[in-house]
Structure 1
Amino acid sequence: MAVVAEPARVGVREVERVSRRDGAMCRVDPGQFVCRALAAELADEWVLYCRARDLRGPDRPARAVRSFAEFADAWLAGRGLDPQLVRLTGGPADLTEIIYEWEQDLRRVHPYPSKRGYELASNLLALIEQRSVREQDLPHKLAARAQAPPLFGKPAEPPPLEEFSQAERLALRNAARHDIRAVERRLSAGRALLETGCDPRQGDWENVANLVWAVYRGLLETTVLRAHLPTSPGHWPTEIRQVAGDAGASWAPQALLAGLAAMVFPCELDLQPFRVLLLLAMDECTPEELLDLAVDDVEFTDGGVRLAQTKRRAGRIRRRLHTDTALGHGGDGAAFEGEGRWDVPGLLCRLFAVTDPVRHAYPDVVDWLWVAVEPSGTGRARVSGRRAEFVLAGRRLTDWITRQHRPDGNPLEITTPHDARRLRKTAKIGRVVALGGTVADLAGDDHHVEVFRRHYAHGTTAHVLAGRAVTTAQQKVFASLTRPVFADEEAVADLTEPEVTAALGLEGETAEAMRDGQLDMGLVNCRDPYASPHTPTGSVCHVAPAMCMLCRNAVVFPSHLPRLVLLAEHIEQIRNRLTPPQWQALWGRQAAALAQLFDECAASMPDARRAAQEGQARLDLPLGMRTEYDR
């Protein structure tokens, strides 16, 4: 067997991530694997793949390379083959068989409904296919496998996220406002304490104000605290123990450091309420656009604030003006002092006030809006400023929500998942409620119509509103088609007058025939028995009087009301003999039409009911109507 010389050097391949952390690199080191040559070839294809497709997130194909190379090492070692001789172009092993075994292992490690196995397999096959198309030097079997899909299909997409309900939106809003007030009070007290402190190296290390002064200037570490404070936290002054909380002796310095920093700096969890309120207030801003805001992207004007929103996925920058609602109600012009304003300009001004100490103390983050401090390290922990990302455990939206309580002290109950995208959907649905209109109008310039239809128009609120709109329109149409016309005593007396006949929608000859009783169908009058909506045109109506109350041709005189009272009583008697579904299907609409008619002519109903009780009217129903409909 020919021995292929090992490469003299295998370097680390790197691709820069396009993310909020400028300069963050994704790396693949072929030297970590025994099959270094194969891993290097795949890593080279990964670099070319990311460049050719301008990938903003190179991590997924990188994970595929690492996963396959690690599996290939174990697979080859288990069969006594030399991993260093394996190449894409050939070697002692069939790569197609290794890929097949790797996919089977992925299916076991990442069972349904996980997408990880499918993503890893499809990304590796894409890299191999790229090499096959470009160089055309791969074995035919491997090239054919690269063009085929993974062994297992892509899992179904999860159901779209639902928006928060109105009650949940109000609960989140109130909790966020409460937290912002608490943070502002805490930082205001900390600033007052800071002004009274001095350098503890020249003063007292057991004074809280001096320790706040030191942490604000980056002089404090846990090693410094251990060196200048008593070893046992029990011997610390009461004020310092209160800052440290109930942490044990081993963790007391870290807890004290975090507590001191919280007196003058916000942490990521303190910024979550600002994020919640801004996403609820700005339906045209995504969570990513909000988090990517730099200080230069925020421009305060006389009437509000203008934001330069960068949407990385779409590759565009949009500038939005958000007006100050307080100025529109007689404001005095002091729009951006950050006191008590809950609109977008007021919230951003208050956010600047909260985060300014971080930018002042840590120049590395001076350009960014969402900045916070967090203690870092363990044995030698210190406070550092950094951009907020809200992704680490303890700092996510769900962590903030689970800490909230209702006014009665019970935990705040918010449906899961606690995803910031649901806040945006809630704001978008609020826009739907306020504006209405077509999908194209509601999508605006934020989305394509299909994107809005698929991700936002599916919301329960939008569906309910759409259903109500459709139902209302249908009811109006049905009412115009089926509603009888009522003519009071005055109208009956002047029935042949042109104004009356026009108001009732009658012709002169029809009015005269109706006045003479020629069009009485046994229950009410009929405009035209040969133009019934329930029978073919030109044929005499054969469903009278069963459907008269659901016919647009029906005209009711006051003299008909006693018969209609008897019909209503007859329908109520039938209710006792039929099942509810049967009664509703056969008589429910007639009963509703009668009730509506009785409400409209309430002044005439007492006389009508009295006439019905005294037997002055008869209800003559056809035999078929009594048997067919009543059984």
Structure 2
Amino acid sequence: MPRRGERKPRVRSTAPKPMPTQEPDHIGIRTLTRTRRGAKASHMVDPAKYRCSALAAQLADEWIRYARAMARIDGGADMAGAVRGFARFVDKHLPTLGMDPAGARLDGCGVDLVEVIHAWEEDLRQHHGLRSNSPYAKTNYLLTLIEQRSLRDASMPEALRLRSQAPPAYPTWKGEPLDEFSNAERIALRDAARNAVRALEARLAWGRELLARGVDPREGGWHEPANLVWAATHPRLLTVEALKPQFRQNVLSWPEPVKALLPTGPDGTLLKRGFRYLVAALSALLFPAETDLQAFRVLLMLGMSDTSPEELHALQLSDIEFTDGGVRLVQRKNRAHRVRADLHPSPDPEEGAATEFAGDGAWDVPGLLRRLLASTELSRKVFPDAEPWLFLAVERRLRGVLDADIAYFKDRERRFGGWISEQRDAAGKPLEISKPFEIRRLRKTTKVLRAVALGGTVSDLAGDDHHVEVYRMHYAHGTTAHILAGRSINRAQKWVFERMSDVVRPVLVTEEAEKHVEEPEVAEDLGLDIEQAKAMRAGKLDMGLVNCRNPYDSPHRKDTKVCHVAPAMCMLCRNAVVFTSQLPRLLLLSDHIERMRIALAPPHWRALWGRQAEALSEVFEECADLVPAARREIVELGLRLDLPLGMRTEFDR
């Protein structure tokens, strides 16, 4: 521990100085150059090409400022395109109004740019169509630049300043919401992707065997497939220019082992001929291409319900961490400006169940990621300068040389739809998948599977990666969700209708049958056994209103305790047995129910007493000749209806 006076003065860190800003040149061509992944790209606006050169120069200056201030990765190429498009329209539109385009300026009043912008929006809408978002995007870029200028230039007309702060006239096209794939389509896509992964792993295994036997073709010969595969690991060595001197121009005269590397049809005919396809075939033996990675993409989307396509596509090796319980992914969602870590656990293997599938790997998320990394391992070794993307594809790129880069999945044949069109089912027929072929539909499919598995409320189904409103607007509209909702409604209605149609009524025992109820034949006809009949005759099963076959087998409770709703629900119970000697009690109950009809609201009375009133009326109809005698007995003996206090508290108010 330092002594007093030995402590060193604390040096506080200072805030970094702002980087010097370079003002754009006000004369000449406006150019912005960006460098990304070693490649340079330039975007420019030449005001001198347009008659409205002053307006084009002002907008181009704002484009340069905005792109630098916002550190746009693409250099604001779309904004530069909007500036050029608007300048061309001004040159064409103003002469039709008898005005000179040279007088158009952001800080001048000679030309009403508000009307010009409105006319440009109309022209964009007619050119691009009603379902295009380009009019909205281009207008929004232009208004953004004008608004930026208005914050700095006080001489701008007030009308133009207000227009720049308003949104474009035509909003974006929402379109029809995408529906999920059906369960049969999901299974077909899953099986096709698994077969594609197995085929890829088998092809790569064969390529690695050839690579182990190969040597430099400049020493071992160019006509040996193993040597050609070895050359594929040296991209600068395997080019079309290097192959042409080694083979004849006619592909049919090539050696048979080399010709066998080219893609062939079912009948053995060559589908693609040429040196370019030979280079591609050799690359496919060692490195996955974009089309090969599409199968992994499909399986991962089907297995990760809380991951969007853009989050999956943006994964790098540093975002993946394998643990004992599974794999931890750091996912970035640009639209939501969110970075989150998610753990995908490995499923616990069941006893006697196989944990590995054909293809040497599991099909869960951790297993798929391990198989994908194993497939691209050689790509990362041969191309060490490539960025560590998870979906690293090797293709013939600039000047026909093999190179590794992220799989963009944008080319027509490499998109999700192109991959589907190439797949075949077990019978060799094309997959029957509904259009559109959108990868986002896979995400909706996994959401629906989660809804089917979990059930519950919308908040349960939305999960932790969506708000309830987002789930309702974008996922709950699907066909499967509607079918499940319809089934739930039908099931509830069926239950209600069965309860209404399956009316339970007590058994009515006539006066003559009551005298002989202990005889086996009579008891059997009434559905009683001898012990129950004797107990009823002795009054042991009298529940205060009617008799009960078994008070411990009540349909109104699931345990074996004594019935807790007697005598309130006795007239609606399958265990009730009515003797004619109990008619006075039933008449008193009927009178009580009628009094409640006056005291209670009609819906309330119907819910509490309606069914019992119907049951009592049926009993009185069957023994109508005994009802007058029962009425006299009530009056002569002064009988009263004794109902439990709990029944009066629950039902009479």
Given the two structures, how large is their TM-score scaled by the length of structure 1? 0.74
- Whether the aligned pair in 1 keeps the contact of 2:29 and 2:44 (CA below 8 Å) is no
CA displacement at 1:460 relative to structure 2: 2.3
Structure 1 partner of 2:279: 257
Partners of 1:341 and 1:519 in 2: how far apart? 73
Q: 1:291 aligns with which of 303, 306, 313?
A: 313
Q: Cα deviations across residues 495-524 of structure 1 (Å, max 9, x unaligned)?
A: 73457297485539987996439989xxx9
CA displacement at 1:179 relative to structure 2: 0.7
Structure 2 partner of 1:454: 473
The one-letter code matched in structure 1 to 2:45 is D
Structure 1 range deviating more: 243-252 or 89-98: 243-252
- Whether the aligned pair in 2 keeps the contact of 1:526 and 1:554 (CA below 8 Å) is no
CA displacement at 1:181 relative to structure 2: 0.5
Query: Does 1:68 pair with 2:86?
Result: yes
Q: 1:148 to 1:340 in 2, by over 3 A?
A: closer
> What does residue range 240-389 of structure 1 map to in structure 2 within 5 Å?
240-245=258-263, 252-325=274-347, 327=349, 329=351, 339-365=360-386, 367-377=388-398, 380-389=399-408
Partners of 1:270 and 1:454 in 2: how far apart? 34
CA displacement at 1:23 relative to structure 2: 8.9
Structure 1 partner of 2:450: 431
Structure 1 partner of 2:220: 203
CA displacement at 1:267 relative to structure 2: 0.6
Query: Does 1:468 pair with 2:487?
Result: yes
CA displacement at 1:263 relative to structure 2: 1.1
The one-letter code matched in structure 1 to 2:254 is W
Q: Cα deviations across residues 75-99 of structure 1 (Å, max 9, x unaligned)?
A: 4577897656642112764433432
Query: Does 1:89 pair with 2:107?
Result: yes
Q: 1:88 to 1:407 in 2, by over 3 A?
A: same
- What is the number of residues matched between the two proteins? 545
The one-letter code matched in structure 2 to 1:458 is H
CA displacement at 1:29 relative to structure 2: 2.6
Query: Does 1:112 pair with 2:160?
Result: no
Structure 1 partner of 2:256: 238
What percentage of residue pairs aligned between the two structures are identical?
A: 41
CA displacement at 1:439 relative to structure 2: 2.4
Q: 1:386 to 1:179 in 2, by over 3 A?
A: same
Partners of 1:509 and 1:80 in 2: how far apart? 92
Structure 1 partner of 2:181: 164
Q: 2:59 aligns with which of 42, 46, 54?
A: 42
Q: 1:229 aligns with which of 233, 243, 247?
A: 247
Question: For 1:255, what is the secondary structure of its paired residue?
Answer: helix
The one-letter code matched in structure 2 to 1:347 is L
The one-letter code matched in structure 1 to 2:373 is F
Flag structure 2 segments of 5+ consecutive residues without an equivalent: 1-24, 508-525, 556-564, 623-653
Question: For 1:319, what is the secondary structure of its paired residue?
Answer: strand
The one-letter code matched in structure 1 to 2:183 is Q
Structure 1 range deviating more: 507-516 or 238-247: 507-516
Question: For 1:9, what is the secondary structure of its paired residue?
Answer: coil
Partners of 2:614 and 2:68 in 1: how far apart? 76
Structure 2 partner of 1:186: 203
The one-letter code matched in structure 1 to 2:480 is T
Structure 1 partner of 2:504: 485
Q: 1:193 to 1:99 in 2, by over 3 A?
A: same
CA displacement at 1:196 relative to structure 2: 1.1
Structure 1 partner of 2:463: 444
- Whether the aligned pair in 2 keeps the contact of 1:531 and 1:537 (CA below 8 Å) is no
- Whether the aligned pair in 2 keeps the contact of 1:86 and 1:92 (CA below 8 Å) is yes
Structure 1 range deviating more: 273-282 or 224-233: 224-233
Q: 1:53 to 1:517 in 2, by over 3 A?
A: farther
Partners of 1:363 and 1:52 in 2: how far apart? 33
CA displacement at 1:283 relative to structure 2: 0.7
- Whether the aligned pair in 1 keeps the contact of 2:45 and 2:80 (CA below 8 Å) is no
Partners of 2:314 and 2:591 in 1: how far apart? 72
Structure 2 partner of 1:215: 232
Q: 1:29 aligns with which of 3, 21, 45?
A: 45
- Whether the aligned pair in 1 keeps the contact of 2:357 and 2:363 (CA below 8 Å) is no
Partners of 2:340 and 2:611 in 1: how far apart? 56
Q: 2:155 aligns with which of 101, 113, 137?
A: 137
Partners of 1:358 and 1:143 in 2: how far apart? 54
Question: For 2:181, what is the secondary structure of its paired residue?
Answer: coil
Structure 2 partner of 1:593: none
Partners of 2:219 and 2:190 in 1: how far apart? 46
Question: For 2:219, what is the secondary structure of its paired residue?
Answer: coil
The one-letter code matched in structure 2 to 1:516 is T
- Whether the aligned pair in 1 keeps the contact of 2:222 and 2:246 (CA below 8 Å) is yes
Q: 1:409 aligns with which of 415, 425, 428?
A: 428
- Whether the aligned pair in 2 keeps the contact of 1:481 and 1:551 (CA below 8 Å) is no
- Whether the aligned pair in 1 keeps the contact of 2:262 and 2:270 (CA below 8 Å) is no
Task: State the structure with more CA Rg.
Answer: 2
Q: 1:394 aligns with which of 413, 420, 438?
A: 413
Partners of 1:24 and 1:555 in 2: how far apart? 89
Q: 1:95 to 1:249 in 2, by over 3 A?
A: same
- Whether the aligned pair in 2 keeps the contact of 1:37 and 1:86 (CA below 8 Å) is yes
- Whether the aligned pair in 1 keeps the contact of 2:251 and 2:273 (CA below 8 Å) is no
Partners of 2:599 and 2:231 in 1: how far apart? 94
- Whether the aligned pair in 2 keeps the contact of 1:527 and 1:553 (CA below 8 Å) is no
Question: For 1:66, what is the secondary structure of its paired residue?
Answer: helix
Structure 1 range deviating more: 471-480 or 393-402: 471-480
- Whether the aligned pair in 1 keeps the contact of 2:263 and 2:272 (CA below 8 Å) is no
Structure 1 range deviating more: 318-327 or 400-409: 318-327
Partners of 2:390 and 2:368 in 1: how far apart? 12
Q: Cα deviations across residues 91-136 of structure 1 (Å, max 9, x unaligned)?
A: 7644334323322321220221222223322432343234234423
The one-letter code matched in structure 1 to 2:243 is L
Flag structure 1 segments of 5+ consecutive residues without an equivalent: 1-5, 563-631
Q: 1:553 to 1:484 in 2, by over 3 A?
A: farther
Partners of 1:519 and 1:15 in 2: how far apart? 99
Given the two structures, how large is their TM-score scaled by the length of structure 2? 0.71
